[in-house]
Structures are given as C-alpha cells and as structure tokens.
Amino acid sequence: MHPIVRTVLQRLGLGLLTLFVVSVIIFSSLQFLPGDFATSVLGQAATPETVAAFRRELGLNDPAITRYAQWIGGVLQGDFGSSFSGRSQGREREVMELIGPRLWNTLFLAGMTAIIAVPLALTLGITAALYRNSFYDRAVNATTLTTISFPEFFVAYILILVLATLWKVFPSLANVRESTELADRIYMTALPALTLTMVIVAHMMRMTRAAIINLLASPYIEMARLKGVSKSNVIIKHALPNAWAPIVNVIAFNLAYLVVGVVVVEVVFVYPGVGQLMVDAVTTRDIPVVQACALIFAATYILLNLFADIVSIVTNPRLLHPR
Amino acid sequence: MKSKTGERTAGDLLLDMRDIRIEGFSDDVWHPIIKGADLKLHRGEVMGLIGESGAGKSTLGKAAMGYAQPGCRITDGTIQFDGMDLRAMNDAQLRELHGSRIAYVAQSAAASFNPAHRLIDQCVEATVGHGLRPAEEAKADARELFAALQLPDPDNIGDRYPHQVSGGQLQRAMTAMAMSSRPDLIIFDEPTTALDVTTQVEVLAAMRDIVEQFHTAAIYITHDLAVVAQMADVIKVLRYGETVEDAPARKMLKQPEMEYTKSLWAVRSLVKPQETSDDIILRVNNVDASYGGPIKVLDNVTIDIPRGSTVAVVGESGSGKSTTARVITGLLPPMSGDVLFNDEPLPLALKDRSKEQLRKIQMIYQMADTAMNPKHTVRDIIGRPLEFYLGLSGKKLDERISELLKMIELDDSFMERLPNELSGGQKQRICIARSLAANPELIICDEVTSALDQIVQEGILKLLLRLQKEFNITYLFITHDIATVKAISDQIVVMFQGAVVEQGMKDDILSPPHPDYTQLLLSSVPEMDPDWLTGLLESRKEGGGMSASGN
C-alpha cells in the first residue's frame, strides 16, 4: 500500500475516533445545561404533571446511556432525530430539515469567502516575501493587521456604510432564500464574504510570507540564486514548494473558522446560516439541533485538518517518494 | 589533469580581482571580512584557496561571481571576468552570467539541492533557464555527465529526489549541475568536507577529471591541505581576509615561505607514542543494538578499553561509532550483550544507573555550539556538574570552577560569558571543563575536533593529552579523521557497517598487512603529496581490489 493511502486511512480512522469522543462530550455536556426543554417550552406556569408528561413523551426520563445510544444509532443512519421546538404545537420537524438549507448557506458563504480570500492571501504573502522590507511589504502587513484587529461586526458595519449606504454597490442585507438564484445569491452574499475575507486574510498571508522567508536562508535558495534563477522564480519554484505544509494548515484552520465561527457576521447581515441556528437552539434548549450542529462542526474541523495533512504529504517528496 | 606536474597550459587571464574589500554586518556594525585581496586566474587553471574558517575564503570565492551573500557587501576593488566588470553589472546582468559562464558547487550538496525537485530538473535548470539549450538536449547531456562522474545508473538517477541518493552521489550530481552549462569558471566551495574519506576520493577524482576534460578554470576552496594538493595548480593562502602567500602548488607544498603557512603544514606532525595497560576499565561485550527496526546497527561489538589510554574508534558515517557511544552511556540500551565498567556490569538503561556510575563516564560532543545551553554562562555550565555530582556550593564551587578554567588554559574572566561570546576552540574547551568537573574516569569524545580548524584542533588535542597524563583519564575517541587518530591514540578500533573489523595497538593497525576495509580506509586519507590521488587511483585500478564505493 502506498504510504499516502495508509496515512490517509490512519488519519480517517483517528478522525472517526475523535468524532466519537466529541459526540460523547457533546452529549454529556448538554446534560449539564441548566433548566430543561420541557420547562422552558411549557413556561413557569405549567403544572408538574404536564411537564412530567411532556418529558416522558420526549424520552427525557430514560437513562443517559440509553438516550446516547438511541441518538448515536440514529446519527449513524443519517437520522439526527427531530427538533424539540414546534413539538408542543404538534408541528414536528426533522433536525436535518432545519439544518440542511442553513448548512448549505453557510457552506456557500464559506466557499465564496475562500475563493476570494485564499488566492488573495497567497498572492499577498508571496509578493510580500518577494519584496520583503519594502514599502509594499509594510503596507500589506499593516493593512491586514488592521483589518484583523477590528472586531468583525465593526468591519461589517464599515463595509455596509461604505459599500451599501454611501455607494450603493451591494445590499446591506443578505437574507437569501432557498429560491434565490445563484447570481442574486452571490450579489447578496458579497458583503458578508468581504467582511470574512478581511478577517481571515491576515493570518494566511502572514503565514505564507513567514514560511517562505524562513526558507530563504536555506543553502538551496542561495544555490538557486547562484544559478542565476530570477528573484520571482527563487520564491515560486524553490521556496514555495517547500513551504506548503505550514501554509495549508493555517488555510485549513481558517476555512474551518468560516464554517463554525461566523455567528456575528450572520447576525449583522441577517444571513440564515447554521451559526445563528445553533445559537437559537441553545437558547430554546433544542437539544437535538445543538447536538447535530456541534457534531457537524467537529466533522468540519476533522475533515479540513485531514485535507491539510494530505496536502502536507503530497508536497513533501520525502513522504511521497520514500527511499 | 594528466599533466598535473605543472606543464598544464594555462590560457589567457580569465578572472582578475584587485584589492577586493568585503564587509559583513553583525552586532549592528559593518566589519571587514576581506581586507584588500587580489586574485588572478587563467583559463583552465585550478586555484586552491585555503585558510581556516573565518579567513574569508568562501566570501572571496563568491565575490569572484560578483555575489555577496546576504549580510555582506563588496565595498571596494575591481572584479574583471573575461574583460567584463562584474561590480558595474546590475542584478539581471549578473544572473545572466551565473549558472551559464560561472557556476558554483556548494559545501553541502545535501542541503543545497532543493528537496522538492528531481535531481535532473535542478541540474539543467540554469542551462535551460538561460536559454543555452532546449530542455531535452540539456537532460541528455546531464545523463552523459552523470556517467562521466561515475554515478550509478546514470540514465535514471536524475529522476530521483535528493533524499533518495547518498551524500557522495549528490556531490557528484552537483558537479554535473555546475558543468551542465559548460561554464568558464567553477567555484568549488569545500565540496568534499562533508563526505567520508572513502567517498571523498571518488568525488575528488571525478571532479578533477571533468574539470580537466572541459578545460574549465576553477577556484577550489578548502581547509584541507592534502585535498588542495591533489586538485590545484596554484595555491593561495588566506588569513583574516588577507593573502598570506601565493605560489604554484608544488612549490607551496615543498617550501612554504611564510610562518603561518608553515604552521598550517606542521599541524599534522603531532604524534603520541603508544602506551597500554592490562587494567581494563571498560569492556563492551558482544553488544547488538538497533534503533527499533529489524536492522542491527551494532552487530556483536566487543571493545576493550585499557585504563589511562586512548582508544580511537574509526570508520565512515553509518559504521556504528556514535551508536557504540550511545550504548556505553546508556542512551541506547542494547538488544543483547553487556557493558562492564571496572569489571562490574553497568545497568543497560541510563535511568537505572546510579549517580556515581553516571559521574564516572562523561561525554564531549562534536558540536560544542549545540551541546551548551546558549542562555547559560560559563559559570553555570561548569558549575552544574559540580553541584549535581559533588554537591559543591558557594565559595568552594567558585574556587573549583576557577581551577577547572585554569586546567583548560582559560582564566576567570570567562566565568560570566555566554557561549556565543566564545570562539569555536574556547567553546570546546568549556565542554572539556564541564566533563572534567565530574572527576570522570572515562571520557567519550565524539568527533570533538571535526568542526575545528587544524591549528585549533591541535591545541585541543594537546590539552586532552595533557589532562590524560595529569589525571589518568581514559578516552574513547570517536573520529573519522586518521590524522587525529595518529596524533592521540594508543589503540585503534576499526568499525564497518556496525561491526568491529579490527582492534589493536596503533602501530600494528597502522602498519600493513591490513584487512581490506582498513586498507581502503587508510589509503583513502589524502596525503600532502600532489601525486597521491593519481597514484592511488592507478594502484586501485591495477590491484582491482575492494572498490571505494561510498554508496
């Protein structure tokens, strides 16, 4: 078996194990949330009998292990259970039905941001390394540091002020629907995507720059220079191929952030993403939804890190072509 | 260089460097590295550039390409290459010359090949990039060069990545890389320093032949006189950035004129008369060891070390020398066999040994730099074993540190210095003092002089011998340098591929008849005689004996 396949399988196995541990942690920590769903739905005025009956109906009285087994068993078959909310009114909804469209929105926003931010960060990082210590380098560093230093909502409001209010380039609300056409969707999502871009570019750009500059003192870089290789080729052909591992790890980390950590931006732009849904579910004690969201987030991290590992291996000939 | 007897015809003047001054930037100031050096080289001529580290050889060599490494600048002088003024050229013009008419071969090929690309792509990069030849033609030519440099499987070896071939092969591939564009001038910057002697012979021969074949001029930078004697038509000795002496190679070797040059030549004359004793202090008994895998790194190794004497362990890298040291110190518990110290078996693992047992065996390392905590002062470094093993403190501790400094010929002013405020030789002396502080019976010296210049080496070796006499210390001296072995040892252990080939008194081992491997090892050590390499290659060809394959 090629070592890459073996490593990937190994990491996948470890990922599944991590996911299992995470599911246990999610499940047990939710047991410690103060108050319970039955009380918060039925209100303070509900009689103890009503609450007890409702709890029974939801299966909240079974031992934790049984409930965990039921939940994880369902999850393994793709069934995340049904949401608690709406139950009391008899409008039961599947968790996936709730999360599905939201998750798609979140992935769309993350994807769009990534398409802008990753190439931008790489280009800025490479050119900053090429012209290091020049005015350009300092300007890029200062600008990206500034944008990352402001809170997300602040960046978002500035963008709204400039691009939606002063010049009416983009809409300030990104309340897309399932029926929204792709072109409209892109147009409406532009501002949140730009906001997130400004938030994550600095991290990736600085790592790109640092990883490349770190290699510039290597003997093989001096050798390339002494072979008469041009400055840009020294960076792109000789430094960059050896710098992918750290860069890709930071990219993966930031992409994961785009999926799991963008609640504030969703709120500002009224964007129906999964972050907002999870926050709502926590407030209403809608345990099945919280569990599903948490599990999806964990899986995102694990998959993206796996992706980073694979890129690190593929770009390292020592691992790709063992002796 | 079939006619390396001086008849080799030098062509027109190719390189003319005059009154070169180069400065380096460190500690916030520019300070001179090269202080007005001249250098003239004719077409087809090989110049040996020698000197100790810090003499500015590499800096001057790179300046011949019009290049100053980052942190350096050429401040004055003229560099004329084939009638062109390199200092008047801009970067783009210099790049046109680099890799086409002037090529560079670096010290460590392992570090100087880009790990991300295949050998052949790197070998033809400059040739193709400068538009000298189309890629396919350049690659075909590179394969021929690989063959000429006697690389194994020349048609396919170029498809490998740098980590897939050995150090000696990489060094030859780098020579092929330099030769690819058929340059007028090649700068060889210590190209064999990182290689084993047996590999070095082959690389030297290959480089010499190919430079000869294409009538390329070369500057050969090295600190090894014997190597330069094989390669150069003319020799230039540098010290502190200034020329000490310039002369044709043969004349320079026979009658050096300047005192400094003579001292360089004389270093190798240190020889210790051999002594022995029947009192065995340490016995390594039938030891097998591995680093976890199925491959035995040590195979049934037995070594006796007599008290108060020096046992030198010699062999190429990978022969198991350092692993033996790791077994003795307990860092690597062996799979089988045992280690007897003063006739008592030592616990195999470090953690099972008592403080007393630890105290009696100390170690000195090759890289004094990395063997000391850069944040500790000399006082901390030497004081630590005194506190740990002997429980000294306060005034007693200070007195003992001062005493130890005296033993290594340094004074109290060194106490508060940090390692980076010391020279290479001083650092190694501090490491010696640190090991002495424990009052050890046995000191394991792992390549302790390999990283030092010859004159400094001699000082360290003399110090070690003096301390041995004064305190009856036993040394296990690991080295690949036969000259050091001659200088310091009583007994020699020859190792090859994890096994002991031979053990005995120095004079017996060094005089014939030898087992094949010892013969190969000893005959591969360059000698000052400029005809040594030619003679050796001829005798090996005729003898058809064990080939010196460094692969």
**Tens digits of per-residue pLDDT, A301-312?**
989 988 898 888
Per-residue pLDDT, A108: 93
**Cross-chain CB nearest to A220 (options B65, B67, B114):** B114
3-state secondary structure of B245: strand
Contact A241 B114 (CB under 8 A): yes
Tokens of B262: 């003579």
**Cross-chain CB nearest to B65 (options A226, A238, A242):** A226
At position A186, the amino acid (one-letter code) is: I
Mean per-residue pLDDT for B164-173?
A: 86
Residue whose entry in the numeric block shows the structure tokens 């077994």: B327
Per-residue pLDDT, B205: 87
pTM over 0.80: no
Per-residue pLDDT, A35: 65
Mean per-residue pLDDT for B426-445?
A: 93
* pLDDT, tens only, B478-500: 988 887 888 889 999 999 888 99
Most confident of B394-398, B419-423, B517-521, B542-546: B394-398
Whether B13 contacts B40, CB under 8 Å: yes
Question: What does the alpha-carbon distance between residue B315 and residue B325 come to, in Å, rounded to a whole number?
Answer: 13
Q: Rg (Cα) of chain B, in Å, rounded?
A: 25
Contact B115 A323 (CB under 8 A): no
Instruction: Tell me whether A321 touches chain B (CB under 8 Å).
Output: yes
Query: Predicted confidence band at B547 (pLDDT cuts at 50, 70, 90)?
Result: very low
Cβ atoms within 10 Å, residue A142: 10
3-state secondary structure of B200: helix
Tokens of A101: 């469209």
- What is the four-CA torsion angle of B389, B391, B396, B399, rounded to 10 degrees? 20
3-state secondary structure of B20: strand
CA B411 to chain centre: 30
Whether A276 contacts A19, CB under 8 Å: no
Q: φ and ψ at B18, to 5 degrees?
A: -125, 135
> For A192, how many CA atoms within 13 A lie in the half-sphere containing its CB?
30
Q: φ and ψ at B59, to 5 degrees?
A: -60, -45
Residue A313: closest C-alpha in chain B: B116
* pLDDT, tens only, B326-344: 999 999 899 999 999 998 9
Q: Does the pLDDT of residue B267 top 70, yes or no?
A: no
Question: What does the alpha-carbon distance between residue B532 and residue B514 come to, in Å, rounded to a whole number?
Answer: 19
Q: Is B144 left (phi over 0), alpha (psi -120 to 50) or beta?
A: alpha
Per-residue pLDDT, A37: 67
A299: exposed, middle or buried (Cβ count in 10 Å: 0-12, 13-18, 19+): middle
Residue B129: closest C-alpha in chain A: A229
Instruction: Tell me whether A225 touches chain B (CB under 8 Å).
Output: yes
Cβ atoms within 10 Å, residue B151: 23
Per-residue pLDDT, A323: 66
Q: Which residue has the higher pLDDT, A178 or B94?
A: B94
* pLDDT, tens only, B453-471: 777 888 889 899 999 999 9
Per-residue pLDDT, B3: 38
Chain B hits for A242, CB-CB cut-off 8 Å, are: 114-116
Contact B116 A241 (CB under 8 A): yes
Chain A hits for B130, CB-CB cut-off 8 Å, are: 228
Residue ranges of chain B whose CB lies within 8 Å of a chain A CB:
62, 65, 67, 69-70, 91, 94-100, 103-104, 106-108, 111-117, 125-126, 129-130, 160-161, 163-164, 177
3-state secondary structure of A121: helix
Chain A hits for B94, CB-CB cut-off 8 Å, are: 228
A window 261-320, beta carbon within 8 A of B: 315-318
A34: exposed, middle or buried (Cβ count in 10 Å: 0-12, 13-18, 19+): exposed
Per-residue pLDDT, B8: 46
Using CA atoms, how far residue B303 sits from A32, A280, B135, B351, in Å, is: 66, 75, 55, 23
Mean per-residue pLDDT for B45-50?
A: 91
Alpha carbon of A250: minimum distance to chain B alpha carbons (Å): 21
Whether A35 contacts A285, CB under 8 Å: yes
Contact A228 B164 (CB under 8 A): no
**Cross-chain CB nearest to A219 (options B62, B65, B111):** B111
Closest listed residue to residue B229, CA positions, set B532, B439, B476, B27: B532
Q: What share of chain B is helix, strand, coil (3-state, %, to 5)?
A: 40, 25, 35
Contact B69 A222 (CB under 8 A): yes
**Cross-chain CB nearest to B99 (options A219, A228, A241):** A228
Mutation target for B interface from A226, A229, A231, A232: give the one with most B CBs within 10 A: A226
B142-147 long-range Cβ contacts below 8 angstroms, 24+ apart: B142/B176, B142/B177, B142/B180, B145/B176, B145/B179, B145/B180, B145/B210, B146/B172, B146/B173, B146/B176
Chain A hits for B100, CB-CB cut-off 8 Å, are: 228
Contact B163 A229 (CB under 8 A): no
Tokens of A310: 């694979």
Chain B hits for A228, CB-CB cut-off 8 Å, are: 94-100, 126, 129-130
Q: Which residues fall within 8 angstroms of residue A47, CB to CB, at 6 or more apart? A: none
Per-residue pLDDT, B4: 39
> For A224, how many CA atoms within 13 A lie in the half-sphere containing its CB?
26
Q: Please name every residue paired with B26 in a beta bridge, in sequence order, or none if there are none.
A: B29
Q: φ and ψ at A288, to 5 degrees?
A: -60, -40
Contact A228 B113 (CB under 8 A): no
* pLDDT, tens only, A252-283: 999 999 988 788 899 899 899 898 888 888 88
Cβ atoms within 10 Å, residue B200: 24
Mean per-residue pLDDT for B354-380?
A: 90
Query: Predicted confidence band at B197 (pLDDT cuts at 50, 70, 90)?
Result: confident
pLDDT exceeding 90 applies to what percent of chain B?
A: 44
Cβ atoms within 10 Å, residue B74: 19
Per-residue pLDDT, B405: 93
**Chain length of chain B:** 551
Alpha carbon of B453: minimum distance to chain A alpha carbons (Å): 22
Question: What does the alpha-carbon distance between residue A305 and residue A182 come to, in Å, rounded to a whole number?
Answer: 29
Q: What share of chain A is helix, strand, coil (3-state, %, to 5)?
A: 75, 0, 25
At position B439, the amino acid (one-letter code) is: N
* pLDDT, tens only, B105-127: 988 888 899 999 999 999 999 99
Q: Which residues of chain A have pLDDT under 50?
A: none
Query: Predicted confidence band at B163 (pLDDT cuts at 50, 70, 90)?
Result: confident
Alpha carbon of A323: minimum distance to chain B alpha carbons (Å): 5
- H runs (alpha helix) in A77-226: 95-130, 135-149, 152-159, 182-215, 219-226
Q: Does the pLDDT of residue B548 top 60, yes or no?
A: no
Q: Please name every residue paired with B504 in a beta bridge, in sequence order, or none if there are none.
A: B492
Question: Counting runs of H as helices and runs of E as strands, what totals does chain A give?
Answer: 15, 0
Strand order of the β-sheet with B499-505 is B361-364, B442-446, B474-479, B310-314, B491-496, B499-505
Question: What does the alpha-carbon distance between residue A102 and residue A297 come to, in Å, rounded to a whole number?
Answer: 13
Per-residue pLDDT, B2: 38
Whether B209 contacts B145, CB under 8 Å: no
Chain B hits for A231, CB-CB cut-off 8 Å, are: 91
